[in-house]
Structure 1
Amino acid sequence: MSVDKSLRILIVEDEILIALELESLLQDMGHDVVGVAASSGEALDLGQDLKPDLAFVDIHLADGPTGVDVARHLASQLDVTVLFMTANAKRIPEDFAGARGVISKPYTERGVREALAYVLAEQGCDSERSRTMTFVPFGRASREDSSSAS
């Protein structure tokens, strides 16, 4: 996948091997990983200092299930696009805490690529939107889809 725009990305993940693997994947895709945080405090400090375009946020961090609070702060206070990465989507609140979607863990390269394509499309950088079982976007389109399926 060639990217027309390189995103500045913050990874909020307490499992170091997952964080390093994701960092490598994102860099291979042409994006700039500006930081990796394992706790909510680190994530909030890095978000404030580094002003990322996008943050991948795990819900359960080194200091507990604080990822939802991190997502809410990054999205509302710092205008960062947030994507959750979690094995337990049931912990995501109904308001999505400001996040734009979720990637199921264990994540796949395809799921990450599709999530990035979605974010870039929302920002007007790409004309194609993707939706799969590995990445589920939040927002108007997904709510309309679910209400019409009922």
Structure 2
Amino acid sequence: MKILIVEDEALLALELESELEAAGHTVVGQAMSSDEARALAAARQPDFAFVDIHLIDGVTGIDVGRHLNENGIPYVFVSGNVRRIPDDFAGAIGAIEKPYTMNGLQNAVSFVERLVQRAADIHDAPPSLILAPRLKEGAGA
């Protein structure tokens, strides 16, 4: 998958990029602000994105997420404060809470890849991924 990373902590973004590339994915860019994220999404057309809620221009990750969702780009929030995620998850598939383990991240990425390709069952979601309520409801959970 072609993946966009929206994260204002450079070391976390580099670590995430390294893990994703080791798993065979292509990172098409890293954005630290909402404007940069929108521009990269338009220019690089990612298949998927990881989005932090708090970026260098404030709590703008939710707006970035809504923008990605409106443009048909699935994404997951990666945040140290998942309580900031709105009830509708702003269209996200779910969230991964920081700090995360590499194993938890790898399991979540593997599941999300299958989900995006429509080859995963919601009931197979790993514990490291907090699914958006609408997905759980749609699965009858």
TM-score when scaled to structure 2?
0.89
Q: 1:90 to 1:127 in 2, by over 3 A?
A: closer
- The aligned residue for residue 137 of structure 1 is 131
Stretch deviating more after TM superposition (63-72 or 103-112): 103-112
- Indicate the percent of aligned positions where both proteins have the same amino acid: 46
5 Å-filtered alignment, 1:5-20, equals: 7-20=1-14
Structure 1 position 40 matched with structure 2 position 34: yes
Q: Is the 8 A contact 2:111 2:120 kept in 1?
A: no
Distance 1:13 1:58 in 2: 5
* Residue 127 of structure 1, CA deviation: 4.5
* Poorly superposed stretches of 4+, deviation over 2 Å: 123-131, 139-145
Q: 1:49 to 1:111 in 2, by over 3 A?
A: same
Number of residues paired by the alignment? Answer: 139
Gaps of 5+ in 2: none
- The aligned residue for residue 82 of structure 1 is 75
TM-score when scaled to structure 1?
0.84
Gaps of 5+ in 1: 1-6
Q: Is the 8 A contact 2:88 2:133 kept in 1?
A: no
Amino acid at match of 1:70: V
* Residue 117 of structure 1, CA deviation: 2.4
